[in-house]
Amino acid sequence: MPLVAINKLKGKQLIKTIIIFTLFRLYPKFIAFFINLLPTFSKKHVFLRADCDHFGSWMHVFLAYAFLQSENKNVQIYLCAKKGTINKGWLKHIEKLPVKIFYNSLVQFLIAPFFHSKYALDVNGHIVFANNSSLIRSINRIPIFTENRICDYSTFLKENLFKTKILDKNISISKPYVLFYARSGRWIHSIRNSKRNMPKELATSILENIISQGFKVILIGDTSRDYIFNSANISHIDEYNSDNLDIIYSNAVAAIGSGSGAIHFPSFLFNLPTLTFTCKPFFHLDAMYMPPSNAKPFTQHIPLKDKWVMAGDMSCVNLLKDVPKLINYFLSNQNLINSNDELTNPFKYIYTNVNSRQNRFISTSDNANIIIY
């Protein structure tokens, strides 16, 4: 719940705000304080702060499992979620994990203190940033998602959970192909009029240029079927058996699309080279790859496989003009620049923490991974 200026509230609105704050912020932290004072009853239970009320957060459940296994921790994971926010094809993999999911709101409220206690694990950087002020106790946190860690977690999941080889003769996929996602806001759990929604002109241009590079395209998530303007080269993920989603994602050569959970899913879980178009601010990148858990000096770079196109307006003329070059450079050599330096503003993004001061830098680089419009 966002903090508000109490002095500006009056009457019923003030009372409602105080009640909400007490029930959903003060109560869980207050009870967690006493839970933390008690002897640890077991190290076999982890309450995952993944916020699974939308699709993107389910990615963190898989990553948390891979992390805990890498630490040789065979634990029971507890999770709060909203039904319908993940499709059956991916949910079947979640159900293979030692995960207990709580969908009931009352139960979620009653067990909330455990998600603020020493048994909790932060895995979503956006939650960390939203709760930057730790009132009573810092929460255990998954390590920063570096290039090597993403690769290791992805490899573990593909070897132990996901299918990667096309064994079913009924799966007809022409390779090479790219996964593409255009956020529309039409999904029931999405914000309809979000700035993150991809303009139709931009999406169409991206698709045309992917095909012109000799690749086929599979539309994923809630991407509109209206984009199947070339049925010989464009198909939709819904056309395939949901039991084979992991195979389809594993065999893609890259993922391109809106900065949203549907594109982060293949990027992180299958370690695909990813070109993301977003209008989010810089600190979103810090949250995506997880902020550090302590104040020790460090320097963090975005994984080189991930390229970000950050635009204040995704309908801007300069961005639309550069789409052919962006797609060409990314799919040909996974970069945002080529030998002719035709794009004038590609940078490497660097996030540092020195003496508890968090700073962000952009610098020119031969391996640029961010471009700004």
* pLDDT reading at 236 higher than 60: yes
* Listed residue (155, 164, 144) closest to 66, CA to CA: 155
Mean pLDDT of the chain: 86
Tell me the per-residue pLDDT of 163-185, one tens digit each, with 9 for 90 and over: 887 655 556 677 799 999 998 76
Contacts of 281 (CB under 8 A, 6+ apart): none
pLDDT, position 39: 86
Query: What angle, rounded to 10 degrees, do the helices at 200-212 and 317-333 form?
Result: 30
CB-CB contact of 268 with 149 (8 Å):
no
pLDDT mean over 264-279: 96
Q: Which two tokens stand for residue 282?
A: 């810089």
pLDDT, position 171: 61
User: Which among 180-184, 185-189, 350-354, 365-369 has the top mean pLDDT?
Assistant: 180-184
Identify the bridge partners of residue 234 per DSSP, sorted by sequence position: 217
Specify the pTM: 0.89
The sheet with strand 76-81 has its strands ordered as: 99-102, 76-81, 45-52, 120-122, 140-141
Q: Could you give the CA distance from residue 99 to residue 75 in angstroms, rounded to a whole number?
A: 9
Q: Could you give the CA distance from residue 116 to residue 140 in angstroms, rounded to a whole number?
A: 10
The percent of residues in the chain predicted with pLDDT above 70, rounded, is: 85
HSE, CB side, 13 Å, CA atoms: give it for residue 305: 19
* Listed residue (21, 48, 26, 28) closest to 112, CA to CA: 28
Q: What are phi and psi of 37, to 5 degrees?
A: -80, -25
Going by pLDDT thresholds of 50, 70 and 90, the confidence category of residue 338 is: low
CB-CB contact of 77 with 99 (8 Å):
yes
Q: Which two tokens stand for residue 8?
A: 């500006």
Higher pLDDT, 348 or 45: 45
- DSSP letter assigned to residue 2: -
pLDDT, position 136: 44
Going by pLDDT thresholds of 50, 70 and 90, the confidence category of residue 285 is: confident
Q: Could you give the CA distance from residue 277 to residue 261 in angstroms, rounded to a whole number?
A: 13
- Burial class from Cβ neighbours inside 10 Å (0-12, 13-18, 19+) for residue 172 reads exposed
Q: Could you give the CA distance from residue 295 to residue 356 in angstroms, rounded to a whole number?
A: 5
pLDDT mean over 229-235: 93
Q: Which domains does the chain have, with CATH numbers?
A: 6-142 (3.40.50), 177-372 (3.40.50)
Task: List C-alpha distances in Å: 303 to 27, 28, 223, 274, 294.
Answer: 39, 36, 26, 10, 21
Our CA angle for 26, 6, 133, nearest 5°, is 45
* pLDDT reading at 135 higher than 50: no
pLDDT mean over 149-165: 93
pLDDT, position 69: 95
* Listed residue (237, 223, 219, 228) closest to 180, CA to CA: 219
pLDDT mean over 208-214: 96
CA dihedral of 36, 37, 39, 42, whole degrees rounded to 10:
-10
